[in-house]
């Protein structure tokens, strides 16, 4: 109920705030525990309470997580995974956006024969479990000699990101008046010239939304990186899982939590900085699907 | 251009279908053995367990996400102070990967060091919360972690829906003296049906794809107690060199997705014609 009355402390309003604050506490709890744990020493963790603040703050776990924690065989921390993820995310995002914009442009202005059907199949592709396409893709990449390489994993991300990217740009371009396009054609613009000189500059708001979606999506991916990236280019998420789930002996909970925060840092930063854009992005990608 | 992608999607799909009808193990072979792999799949205890888990998980995950997400959206929509902060708090887990989510919750739920121990130290010596090491309860811990991650998204989408509802409806309802909860139940929820449908579709696809969170949280354990189809397929594809069985599993996973997608597409197409 949206009332326009002044805020008075009725029992109902107290109830509303009680519910919201309880919920907020539940949602914040893991973040709080991650943070306090990452600043504790192992002795303190073994003896202390999971909810307690650290008695002696130490940044040692963070240093270890970044540069000495063991990810399977190597013990160089997850910094290499960070740079792998950067190397995977950057080209995957740029390429997927460029191709998505190109597809969307072709679908909304040029409308080649059969494009509706192609578009429908492409969209359905967004919902297909990756396992269905995984092994054939492994074979294709192996034949192309790019399995377990950087170009290989980038290609896979571009393929799986294509449906949403195309959808975003198609819907965006549908909102641009056709007259503008016709005028450009009369002025002698070709397919690519109109795209590069007219459409791309106009699509800046959509490019931002698409970039947010693709960057967080690729950064948070685990399964594709695990299968296609190969040991040399394992993304941060996969290394993180190795750090925590394959260590023998005592578990370094403080290091683990620091590593987890480090891995989540980039998408969280994007979320907090971009705010409304992030919500708009997921909503645009989701609602119209 | 988009043609290649469609070939990528369609051709790989058909290829997997073909393999699922062969007797491939480590390498794909081109013989045709009919539906034997599907029979083997449904004789396989682990596969049946994974389907069972997925059913339990799916129902609880979707219900919990929708209920919590809707309640959060409704309460936030009450003209509260600090709305922006609350929205941010409820949605931030969605920015985190399933792996990170799974690992955090794994740690919080580990009996010796996590929440159980914390609450015991507060004085409740007999407090028990060891679901993650309990074969019968472990799947519920996956529900908790993933609901924490995804219900904020449901909130964001339903809140957008709530904001789109005309104020006049509220005025009319208040004039007629209808209690607020009745307005929500009989007017607002039906009006939000399209939003709910989209949310449901999104959550359902997430259910079928569930893999990362399980891998990070329980690795399918204890034993095989939290096995899910996606993990079963991955294990047989890469760990156990049983290509055709895994392909049959992958095709089976496609069925629920199509079963959801086709009615949805049909409904949209009909709506488009009107």
Q: At residue A1, does pLDDT exceed 50?
A: no
Interchain CB contact of A3 with B (< 8 Å): yes
What pTM value is reported for the model?
0.89
pLDDT for residue A6: 53
Q: Does A242 touch chain B (CB under 8 A)?
A: no
Closest to B113 (Cα-Cα) out of A47, A169, A80: A47
- Whether residue A273 lies within 8 A of chain B, CB to CB, comes out as no
- Closest residue of chain B to A1, computed from CA coordinates: B78
Residues A260, B104: Cα–Cα separation, whole Å: 8
Q: What CA–CA distance (Å, rounded) separates A163 from A166?
A: 5
Which helix H or strand E contains A200, and what residues bound it? Answer: helix A200-202
Chain A residue with the nearest C-alpha to that of B169: A1
B165 phi, psi to nearest 5 deg = -85, 135
Q: Do A2 and B115 touch (CB under 8 A)?
A: no
Going by the DSSP 8-state scheme, the letter that residue A54 receives in this structure is P
A237 part of contact set with chain B, CB < 8 Å: yes
Q: Which residues pair with A71 in a beta bridge?
A: A74
Half-sphere exposure in the Cβ direction for A9 (13 Å, CA): 2
For residue A282, pLDDT over 90 is answered with no
d(CA B170, CA B247): 53
Query: Residue B125: what pLDDT?
Result: 79
In which residue ranges of chain B is pLDDT below 70? Answer: 1-5, 271-274
Q: Do A253 and B76 touch (CB under 8 A)?
A: no
The pLDDT of residue A289 is above 50:
no
Rounded CA separation B88/A273 (Å) = 11
Top-ranked range on mean pLDDT: pick from A3-12, A92-101, A160-169 = A92-101
Q: With a CB-CB cutoff of 8 Å, which residues 224-243 of chain B face chain A?
A: 230, 233-234, 237-238, 243
Residue A247: which pLDDT band, with cuts at 50, 70 and 90? low
- Measured in angstroms, the CA of A246 and the nearest CA of chain B are apart by 11
Residues of A in contact with B88 (CB under 8 A): 272, 275
What per-residue confidence (pLDDT) applies to A230? 85
The whole-number pLDDT of residue A288 equals 44
B220-258 tens-digit pLDDT: 878 888 899 999 999 998 877 788 899 999 999 988 888
With CB atoms and an 8 Å threshold, state whether B90 touches A283. no
CB B192 within 8 A of CB B105: no
Nearest-Cα residue of chain B relative to residue A136: B12
ipTM above 0.90, yes or no: no
Q: Which of residues 24-63 of A touch B (CB under 8 A)?
A: 24, 26-31, 33-34, 37, 45-46, 49-51
pLDDT at position A150, please?
93
| Chain B residues lying within 8 Å of A29, measured CB to CB | 108
Ramachandran angles phi, psi of A80, nearest 5° = -65, -35
A127 vs B19: CB contact, 8 Å cut-off? Answer: no
Q: In a mutagenesis test of the B interface, which of A49, A78, A135, A270 is the best target, namely the one with the most B β-carbons within 10 Å?
A: A135
Dihedral pair phi/psi, residue A74, rounded to 5°: -85, 150
Tokens 């609901």 correspond to what residue? B147
Quick one: which of A173, A248, A169 has its CA closest to A213?
A169
Minimal C-alpha gap between B226 and chain A (Å):
16
Of all residues in chain A, what percent carry a pLDDT higher than 90?
Answer: 38
| Per-residue model confidence (pLDDT) at position B274 | 45
Summarize the confidence of residues A190-208 as an average pLDDT: 89
Q: Are residues B216 and A51, on separate chains, in Cβ contact within 8 Å? A: no
Indicate yes or no: CB of A2 within 8 angstroms of CB of B77: yes
Residues 32-61 on B with a CB inside 8 Å of A are none
- Of the residues B16, B20, B103, the best mutation for testing chain A's interface (the one with the most A CB atoms within 10 Å of its CB) is B103
Nearest to A135 among B1, B79, B243 (CB): B243
Which residue among A16, A50, A159 places its CB closest to the CB of B115? A50
Could you give the percent of chain A with pLDDT greater than 70?
94
A266 neighbourhood in chain B, CB within 8 Å: none
Q: What is the pLDDT of residue A90?
A: 96
Cα gap B196→A235, rounded to integer Å: 34
Which residue on chain B is closest to A242 by alpha carbon? B216
* A83-101: average pLDDT: 95
Residues of B in contact with A51 (CB under 8 A): 118
Closest residue of B to A283, CA-based? Answer: B157
- Asked if B137 reaches chain A (Cβ–Cβ under 8 Å), the answer is no
What is the per-residue burial (b if ≥16 Cβ within 10 Å, else e) of A123-158?
bbbbbbbbbbbbbbbbbbbeeeebbbbbebbbbbbb
> What residues of chain B lie within 8 A of the CB of A238, using their CB?
99
The least confident of A98-112, A179-193, A269-283, B81-95 is A269-283
The Cα of A179 is separated from the nearest Cα of chain B by a number of Å equal to 24
Distance from CA of A235 to the nearest CA of B (A): 12
Q: Which residue has the higher pLDDT, A124 or B101?
A: B101
Q: In a 3-state reduction of DSSP, which class is residue B117?
A: helix
**pLDDT band at A248, cuts 50/70/90?**
low
> A157-172 pLDDT, tens per residue?
999 998 889 988 998 8
Lowest-confidence segment of A249-253, A270-274, B104-108, B203-207 by average pLDDT = A249-253
Contact yes or no for A264 and B97 at CB 8 A: yes
Alpha helices in B21-82 (DSSP H): 36-43, 45-76
The more confident residue out of A88 and B182 is A88
């Amino acid at each position: 109920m949206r009332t326009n009355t002044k805020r008075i402390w009725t029992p109902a309003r107290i109830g509303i705030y009680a519910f919201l604050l309880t919920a907020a506490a539940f949602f914040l709890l893991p973040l709080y525990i991650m943070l306090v744990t990452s600043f504790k020493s192992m002795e303190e963790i073994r003896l202390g309470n999971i909810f307690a603040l650290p008695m002696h703050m130490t940044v040692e776990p963070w240093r270890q997580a970044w540069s000495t924690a063991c990810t399977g065989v190597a013990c160089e921390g997850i910094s290499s995974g960070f740079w792998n993820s950067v190397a995977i995310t950057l080209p995957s995002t740029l390429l997927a956006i460029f191709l998505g914009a190109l597809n969307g442009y072709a679908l909304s202005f040029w409308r080649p024969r059969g494009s509706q059907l192609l578009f429908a199949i492409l969209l359905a592709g967004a919902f297909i479990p990756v396992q269905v396409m995984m092994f054939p893709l492994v074979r294709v990449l192996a034949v192309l000699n790019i399995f377990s390489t950087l170009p290989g994993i980038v290609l896979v991300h571009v393929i799986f990101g294509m449906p949403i990217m195309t959808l975003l740009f198609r819907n965006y371009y549908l909102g641009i008046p056709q007259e503008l396009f016709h005028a450009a054609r009369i002025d002698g613009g070709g397919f690519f010239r109109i795209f590069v000189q007219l459409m791309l500059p106009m699509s800046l708001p959509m490019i931002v939304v698409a970039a947010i979606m693709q960057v967080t999506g690729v950064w948070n991916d685990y399964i594709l990186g695990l299968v296609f990236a190969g040991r040399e280019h394992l993304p941060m998420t996969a290394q993180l899982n190795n750090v925590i789930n394959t260590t023998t002996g005592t578990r370094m909970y403080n290091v683990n939590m620091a590593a987890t925060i480090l891995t989540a840092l980039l998408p969280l930063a994007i979320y907090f900085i971009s705010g409304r854009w992030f919500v708009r992005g997921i909503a645009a990608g989701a609602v119209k699907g | 251009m988009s043609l290649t992608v469609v070939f990528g999607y369609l051709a790989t799909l058909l290829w997997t279908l073909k393999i699922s009808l062969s007797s491939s193990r480590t390498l794909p072979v081109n013989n045709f053995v009919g539906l034997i792999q599907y029979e083997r799949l449904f004789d396989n205890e682990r596969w049946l367990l994974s389907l069972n888990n997925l059913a339990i998980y799916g129902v609880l995950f979707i219900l919990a996400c929708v209920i919590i997400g809707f309640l959060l959206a409704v309460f936030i929509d009450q003209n509260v102070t600090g709305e922006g902060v609350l929205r941010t708090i409820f949605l931030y887990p969605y920015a985190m990967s399933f792996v990170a989510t799974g690992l955090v919750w794994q740690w919080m739920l580990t009996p010796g060091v996590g929440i159980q121990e914390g609450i015991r130290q507060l004085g409740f010596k007999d407090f028990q919360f060891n679901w993650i090491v309990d074969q019968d309860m472990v799947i519920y811990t996956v529900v908790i972690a993933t609901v924490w991650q995804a219900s904020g998204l449901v909130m964001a989408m339903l809140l957008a829906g709530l904001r789109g509802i005309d104020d006049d409806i509220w005025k009319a309802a208040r004039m007629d003296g209808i209690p607020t909860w009745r307005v929500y139940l009989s007017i607002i929820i039906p009006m939000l049906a399209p939003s709910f449908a989209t949310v449901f579709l999104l959550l359902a696809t997430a259910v079928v794809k569930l893999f990362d969170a399980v891998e990070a949280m329980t690795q399918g354990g204890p034993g095989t107690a939290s096995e899910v189809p996606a993990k079963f397929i991955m294990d047989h594809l890469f760990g156990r060199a049983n290509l055709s069985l895994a392909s049959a599993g992958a095709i089976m996973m496609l069925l629920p997705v199509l079963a959801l997608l086709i009615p949805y597409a049909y409904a949209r197409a009909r709506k488009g014609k009107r």
